[in-house]
């Protein structure tokens, strides 16, 4: 894993509970722990809808490294990118992943594996060229 390039938000209080931090845009509360993500243990990201006055402690969605990895179908490079952007874009981890997919910034092979298209002519995992949406990767490279 390459060095993680993102901001960290919130902290763990003395009682072991997470303290979320108001996002820079002021519309959600987030907790983002780079060490937990790198260690692949514990909660590394949490989000709660709220306002400048706070959030409901019972309405916090939490995510672990494994949650990010599952969303990205096992690709650790894509997983890291999604973690880095979560919080920066003030949303849930799948939001950034969906944007990447919509813009062909990541591709999903028929085998289900997701990967960045730069410098590849086939799926790095199974070596086929057909994408989940039945396009061929050559259509993206040529066009």
Same domain, 73 and 129: no
CA atoms within 13 A on the CB side of 140: 21
Residues 65-111: pLDDT tens digits? 999 999 998 999 999 988 988 877 667 788 888 888 999 999 999 99
Give every CB contact of residue 68 below 8 A, 6+ residues apart in sequence.
37, 44, 45, 79, 82, 83, 86, 93
- Alpha-carbon gap, residue 116 to 8, rounded angstroms: 25
Same domain, 33 and 82: yes
Residues spanned by the domain of 112: 104-143
Contact 69, 76 (CB under 8 A): yes
Residues 1-55: pLDDT tens digits? 677 877 788 888 888 888 899 887 777 899 999 999 999 999 999 999 887 888 8
Same domain, 83 and 139: no
- Alpha-carbon gap, residue 3 to 46, rounded angstroms: 21
Same domain, 112 and 94: no
Same domain, 73 and 126: no
Same domain, 142 and 97: no
Same domain, 60 and 31: yes
- Alpha-carbon gap, residue 33 to 53, rounded angstroms: 23
Residues 112-131: pLDDT tens digits? 999 999 999 999 999 999 99
Same domain, 99 and 111: no
Q: How many domains does the chain have?
A: 2
Same domain, 72 and 121: no
Same domain, 133 and 117: yes
Same domain, 17 and 54: yes
């Amino acid at each position: 894993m390459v060095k993680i390039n993102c901001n960290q938000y919130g902290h763990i209080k003395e009682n072991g509970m997470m303290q979320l931090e108001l996002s820079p845009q002021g519309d959600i509360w987030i907790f983002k722990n780079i060490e937990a993500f790198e260690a692949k243990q514990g909660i590394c990201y949490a989000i709660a809808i709220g306002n400048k006055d706070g959030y409901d402690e019972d309405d916090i969605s939490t995510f672990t490294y494994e949650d990010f990895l599952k969303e990205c179908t096992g690709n650790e490079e894509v997983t890291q990118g999604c973690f880095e952007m979560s919080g920066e874009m003030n949303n849930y981890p799948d939001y950034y992943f969906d944007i990447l997919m919509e813009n062909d910034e990541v591709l999903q092979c028929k085998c289900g594996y997701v990967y960045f298209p730069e410098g590849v002519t086939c799926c790095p995992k199974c070596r086929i060229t057909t994408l989940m949406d039945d396009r061929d990767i050559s259509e993206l490279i040529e066009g």
